[in-house]
Structure 1
Amino acid sequence: MAKRDDPESGGRGGRSDGRPGHPATDLRLRLAEAQRTLADGAGEEAAAQYARLLAEAERHELPDVQAQALLGLGDCALEAGELAAGHEHFERAERLLADAPLPARVPAVRGRAVSHYLAGELRYAVHLLESTLDALDRGGLHDPDALLLLYAGVIGPYMDMGAHARAAQAAEAALALAAREGDPALVARAHRAAARTLLAEGRTAEADASLARAAEIYQSLHLRTELANCHWMRGYLHAQNGELDRAEAALREAQAMLSARRAALYSSQVAVELADVLHRRGKSGEAAALLRDVLGDLSPERGAVHAAAAHRLLGIIAEAAQDTEAAEEHYVRALSLLERAGAAGDLADLCRLLGDLLRRTGRVEAALDAYRTGLGHRTAPGTTTLGPADRRLL
């Protein structure tokens, strides 16, 4: 095996391209370049850069650089909607960092949790994040970057599971850390994540202010995907607040940005929420066409909660068109997806819709079963993927 360069030598002789001669320094500079490439919206190019970096880091036996390259590959995979590949990259990064302090492993844990969350495995995502928070606390490892990543990451799964109090506590902790945090990207992430709990508490103006702050930071940092996700969240906020024209504009902007970046899964999820807004604006035909166009990109293992939301909305549209059979089929498919995911707010809303349909068609016992399934869950602004069902159907 070739002898590794002496880290004190600075790479004897230097390089003609102006880069440092030592492999570790060179690779770390190129990691920063790959991160900029991903931030600028070239996900495929960034993935290729990270793959080359990983191979070179393996050749030079630099496990910390390997781990960073794998984290980058994981982020690229999530953006492309390749959840299994993303999970594998994050898991490999975590294994490489097994001997490092826990805060150094947190980005990999958070990446794994996001891959489970996007796959509809809410409970396991929460388990990963909570157990890591507990381990940091037990070890007295109060690293602000690590804590902020974990608290911001757990808010969405908490809200989808109906754990509103825990989501609010996590948001409070994230915002407190953000007030002292130096990394602007982490500050923006905290504000974006906390906006959903603020909305659920009826603090709409504060939620909007948090999103405006996040968008401002993302714009200044040229983080295009994060900025698109911020527009997405603003569209969600406007939709939940009944401001449908503003919701449609924000969601269309988010979808255009994500589509341009080939962020397939995120783009499909935004399309479902946009379809809901279009339906609520009286454009049900356009909404149904949009749902049928993206539903093939969603599945129980890929965007399960939004797949259920798409079936829920197609059921509502079918019911309004007096197609009871199609409506029931969509509701039942949505129910199966939501029970697996454990999305409490959506599940309660769906059980009410299905129960009411069954009751109207004379199947009282089946209706009661549906109501019982949703019993104990409640919906509130910020807890459901889409806006409220049209009360005229009830």
Structure 2
Amino acid sequence: MTDRDDPGTIGRRVQHLRAERGLTQKQLAEPAYTPAYISTLEAGRVRASDEALRHIAERLGVAYDELATGRPAHLATDLRLRLTEAQRTLATGAAEEAAGQYAALLVEAEGHELPDVQAVALLGLGECAIDTGELAAARLYFERSEQALADAPLPARVPALRGRAVSHYLAGELRYAVYLLESTLDELNRGGLHDPDALLLLYASIIGPYMDMGAQARAAQAAEFALALAPQSQDPALVARMHRSVARTLLAEGRIAEADASLVKAAELYRTLQLRTELANCHWMRGYVSAQNGELERAEGELREALAMLTAKRAALYSSQVAVELADVLHRRGKSDEAAAILEDVLNDLSSERGALHSAAAHRLLGIIAEDARDTDAAEEHYVRALSLLERAGAAGDLADLCRLLGDLLRRTGRVEAALDAYRTGLGHRTSPGTTTLGPAPAQPPL
């Protein structure tokens, strides 16, 4: 059964359009139907068949969908065209402009009861809110997008699920973020739902939470899976623009189905473009591993590549994470001034309400740089500020390490009692449960 209005609503619509065109019931009915049938239909006493509605739509000079649903002709295609425009705007980093486009689309989709368009618009609003650091609003948008897709297969719901997980992660709720991502990966892989885009999105997104929780082995594995799944595209933005232009031409010629096909390809390419941005996490992971192995030159190259993939206006919280790692490598390579400048930029972009973990990491490293420069007052100030941020986020492992750094500094400056207090606090965090208790790793994809 088609998704169309009730017989009474359709009957009134037929009567209105017929009168508007100056047709009699007989003229509308001929040659396939009788005037009595049209009269009964207009009164809402019969549910017209699809065949009858197509005949009447042709006689009235309107599209079948417009007659059956009341939606303007080509509405769905027009909305899809505007959705790809909003995706393009977001992909170029203009989050606030994109949010306005998505909001307008959401109003129209709700007015015409188009749940698929509602879900995409809500997803876009969530992505815009993440880019601008409005994490609570982002979470609500993603939840509403999931609800709009409640009856859809799991791969279709993955972008909204992933968005919700990322909003929890960026708010410092690491354990719940990992739970959401791992449970979704497990359900996809164990259920044989091996959608490459869905898996890539999840694996790329789980790297950051794994790293912040100290699960480096799982982070490295996720990065390798993501890179193996990554779709190949020379220039997705360029090809997507081509498909959008083609769609406009086809629409002007009335070739709706072909225009739809071009718009679907454009939307897929914009998603690919966003996934390529997500893959910055994979370069970051490789840089981290290289740094751990002492390969600092290679680490610097990978981390700079990750930063280059994150545009200046997009995803400040992601780029801050990479910037802190790059600053650490630069400091270890003797480029402390450049490292400090990068860290100050990170702190200027973030606040204690958003990106607490990254702000804490920046303060911790600035403390180490200050210590190396024998500026103990500045070092202590940075350590204390980092401590406050980590306590708020509940990152126990990082707290223990920071307490050790602070204790060592206090001991070297002759404040033994204060140093002992810092060490005791650190031991307390070290012996308490960490930010998460990881269960079995999720099932792996067939690569």
Q: Would you call these one fold, judging by a TM-score over 0.5?
A: yes
Q: 2:172 aligns to what SS in structure 1?
A: coil
What amino acid is aligned across from residue 270 of structure 1 in structure 2? Answer: V
* Structure 1 residues 192-227: Cα deviation after superposition (integer angstroms, max 9, x where no partner): xxxxxxxxxxxxxxxxxxxxxxxxxx9995556336
Checking the alignment, whether the CA contact within 8 Å between 1:66 and 1:93 is kept in structure 2 is yes
In structure 1, C-alpha distance between the alignment counterparts of 2:215 and 2:286, rounded to whole Å: 22
1:41 to 1:225, Cα distance in 2 relative to 1, 3 A: farther
What amino acid is aligned across from residue 184 of structure 1 in structure 2? Answer: P
Mapped pair 1:331 → 2:383: yes
* Structure 1 residues 126-150: Cα deviation after superposition (integer angstroms, max 9, x where no partner): 233355567779xx85422356654
In structure 2, C-alpha distance between the alignment counterparts of 1:13 and 1:105, rounded to whole Å: 30
- 2:208 match: 156
Map residues 94-113 of structure 1 onto 2, 5 A cutoff: 94-113=146-165
Checking the alignment, whether the CA contact within 8 Å between 2:283 and 2:302 is kept in structure 1 is yes
1:220 to 1:103, Cα distance in 2 relative to 1, 3 A: closer
> Which residue of 194, 199, 207 maps to 1:144?
194
Work out the percentage of aligned pairs sharing the same amino acid.
71
What amino acid is aligned across from residue 357 of structure 1 in structure 2? Answer: L
What amino acid is aligned across from residue 365 of structure 1 in structure 2? Answer: L
What amino acid is aligned across from residue 294 of structure 1 in structure 2? Answer: V
Checking the alignment, whether the CA contact within 8 Å between 2:178 and 2:209 is kept in structure 1 is yes
What amino acid is aligned across from residue 288 of structure 1 in structure 2? Answer: A
- 1:385 match: none
- 1:38 match: 90
Checking the alignment, whether the CA contact within 8 Å between 2:321 and 2:358 is kept in structure 1 is yes
In structure 2, C-alpha distance between the alignment counterparts of 1:49 and 1:27, rounded to whole Å: 11
- 1:115 match: 167
With normalisation by structure 1, the TM-score equals: 0.68
Q: What count of residue pairs does the alignment treat as equivalent?
A: 336
- 2:437 match: none
* Structure 1 residues 148-181: Cα deviation after superposition (integer angstroms, max 9, x where no partner): 654554443233223456657x739x83x987x7
Q: 2:353 aligns to what SS in structure 1?
A: coil
1:357 to 1:373, Cα distance in 2 relative to 1, 3 A: farther
Checking the alignment, whether the CA contact within 8 Å between 1:77 and 1:83 is kept in structure 2 is yes
With normalisation by structure 2, the TM-score equals: 0.61
Map residues 374-393 of structure 1 onto 2, 5 A cutoff: 374-376=429-431
Checking the alignment, whether the CA contact within 8 Å between 1:79 and 1:266 is kept in structure 2 is no
Mapped pair 1:77 → 2:153: no
- 1:285 match: 337
What amino acid is aligned across from residue 430 of structure 2 in structure 1? Answer: L
Map residues 1-394 of structure 1 onto 2, 5 A cutoff: 12=63, 21-130=73-182, 132=184, 141-145=191-195, 149-150=201-202, 152-163=204-215, 171=222, 175=225, 184=231, 222-223=273-274, 225-226=277-278, 228-256=280-308, 258-343=310-395, 345-360=397-412, 361=414, 362-363=416-417, 364-376=419-431
Q: 1:144 aligns to what SS in structure 2?
A: coil
Unaligned runs of 5+ in 2: 15-49, 67-71, 233-268, 434-447
Checking the alignment, whether the CA contact within 8 Å between 1:123 and 1:342 is kept in structure 2 is no
Q: 1:354 aligns to what SS in structure 2?
A: helix
Q: Give, in angstroms, the shift of residue 115 of structure 1.
A: 0.9
Checking the alignment, whether the CA contact within 8 Å between 2:290 and 2:298 is kept in structure 1 is yes
Q: Give, in angstroms, the shift of residue 57 of structure 1.
A: 0.9
What amino acid is aligned across from residue 338 of structure 1 in structure 2? Answer: L
- 1:390 match: none
In structure 2, C-alpha distance between the alignment counterparts of 1:184 and 1:250, rounded to whole Å: 20
Q: 1:74 aligns to what SS in structure 2?
A: helix
* Structure 1 residues 314-363: Cα deviation after superposition (integer angstroms, max 9, x where no partner): 11122223333332232232233334434455344323322322333323
Q: Which shifted more, 120-129 or 59-68?
A: 120-129
1:359 to 1:264, Cα distance in 2 relative to 1, 3 A: same
Q: Give, in angstroms, the shift of residue 120 of structure 1.
A: 1.6
Checking the alignment, whether the CA contact within 8 Å between 1:93 and 1:108 is kept in structure 2 is yes
Q: Which shifted more, 264-273 or 254-263?
A: 254-263
Q: Give, in angstroms, the shift of residue 62 of structure 1.
A: 0.7
Checking the alignment, whether the CA contact within 8 Å between 2:400 and 2:425 is kept in structure 1 is no
Q: 2:310 aligns to what SS in structure 1?
A: helix
Checking the alignment, whether the CA contact within 8 Å between 1:114 and 1:153 is kept in structure 2 is yes
Q: Which shifted more, 52-61 or 77-86?
A: 77-86
**Aligned-residue CA RMSD (Å):** 4.3
What amino acid is aligned across from residue 368 of structure 1 in structure 2? Answer: Y
In structure 2, C-alpha distance between the alignment counterparts of 1:237 and 1:165, rounded to whole Å: 10
1:308 to 1:113, Cα distance in 2 relative to 1, 3 A: same
Q: Give, in angstroms, the shift of residue 97 of structure 1.
A: 2.8
Q: Which shifted more, 247-256 or 5-14?
A: 5-14
1:331 to 1:373, Cα distance in 2 relative to 1, 3 A: farther
Q: Give, in angstroms, the shift of residue 45 of structure 1.
A: 4.5
1:262 to 1:148, Cα distance in 2 relative to 1, 3 A: closer
Checking the alignment, whether the CA contact within 8 Å between 1:119 and 1:300 is kept in structure 2 is no
Q: 1:282 aligns to what SS in structure 2?
A: coil
1:252 to 1:122, Cα distance in 2 relative to 1, 3 A: same
Checking the alignment, whether the CA contact within 8 Å between 1:103 and 1:141 is kept in structure 2 is no
Checking the alignment, whether the CA contact within 8 Å between 1:120 and 1:305 is kept in structure 2 is yes
* Structure 1 residues 219-270: Cα deviation after superposition (integer angstroms, max 9, x where no partner): 9955563365555444444433433344444444544553444443333333
Checking the alignment, whether the CA contact within 8 Å between 1:352 and 1:374 is kept in structure 2 is no
In structure 2, C-alpha distance between the alignment counterparts of 1:315 and 1:149, rounded to whole Å: 35
